[in-house]
Structure 1
Amino acid sequence: MSKDYTSEHLRAELKSLADTLEDVLDTSTEKSKGELDKLRNRAEQALRESRARLSNAGDAISHQTREAAAKADNYVRENPWTGVGIGAAVGVVLGILLARR
């Protein structure tokens, strides 16, 4: 299952879930038992689907992070002095930024 999990996609998924749950809460006092059961089932289904999609997105992000870390590790092992230079440059920039506060 190769889906592109962007932050916009995840926001839309969470908004859809929130809208469904909001609909259940807003109309719960006006509906009959049968209608409430339908709304509840719809909300439960939306929650299950959102959990599955978010879990898949988390797995994909975790996999991408591990790949990036492995590539960075390989690069530093092949070019140790470049890695030291990059680390020093990042340290200097962070030091300057933190000293400004």
Structure 2
Amino acid sequence: MSKESSSEHLRAELKNLADTLEEVLSSSSEKSKTELDKLRHKAQAALSSSRERLGDSGERLAQTTREAAAKADDYVRENPWHGVGIGAAIGVALGILLSRR
């Protein structure tokens, strides 16, 4: 699943959750106890699903970050002088930016 479709799916789930909660809050006085129980169950299911999705997204992000860090570490270990040069260039750029303040 691509990031864009995953993001769209998550937005749709959160909208569904918000709509369900809005329905529960706006019509609580007009509904019978059974209808309220059904709405409450629907809201709990949507919330649970959204929490699960957010947890999965966070885990995927953490995994991607770990992989990127490992690749960067491998690159620096294989090409140490490139790493030193890149670090020096970043340091010079930051020094210039900070000295302008």
Aligned to 1:35: 35
> Does structure 1 residue 91 correspond to structure 2 residue 88?
no
Determine what percentage of the aligned residue pairs are the same residue. 67
Per the TM alignment, residue 99 of structure 1 is displaced from its structure 2 partner at its CA by 4.4
Normalising by structure 2, report the TM-score.
0.79
Amino acid in the other structure paired with 1:33: K
The structure that has the greater radius of gyration is 2
Counterpart Cα distance in 2 of 1:25 and 1:94: 51
Count matched residues.
99
CA distance in 2, matches of 1:47, 1:63: 24
Please state whether the residue corresponding to 2:46 is helix, strand or coil: helix
**SS, match of residue 66 in structure 1:** helix
Residue by residue, what CA displacement relative to the aligned partner does 1:50-91 show, whole Å, maximum 9, x if unpaired? 111111111111111111110000001011111122122223
TM-score (ref. length: structure 1): 0.79
For 2:38, give the aligned amino acid: K
Query: Which range is displaced more, 16-25 or 5-14?
Result: 5-14
Stretches of structure 1 that go unaligned for 5 or more consecutive residues are none
The question of whether the paired residues in 2 share the 8 Å contact of 1:13 and 1:50 is answered with: yes
Residues 6-54 of structure 1: CA distance to partner in whole angstroms, max 9, x if unpaired? 4733333333322222222122222111111111000000011111111
Is the CA contact (8 Å cut-off) linking 1:17 and 1:43 kept in structure 2?
yes
Which residues of structure 2 form unaligned runs of 5+? none
Q: Does structure 1 retain, via aligned residues, the 8 Å contact 2:13–2:46?
A: no
Cα RMSD, aligned residues only: 2.1
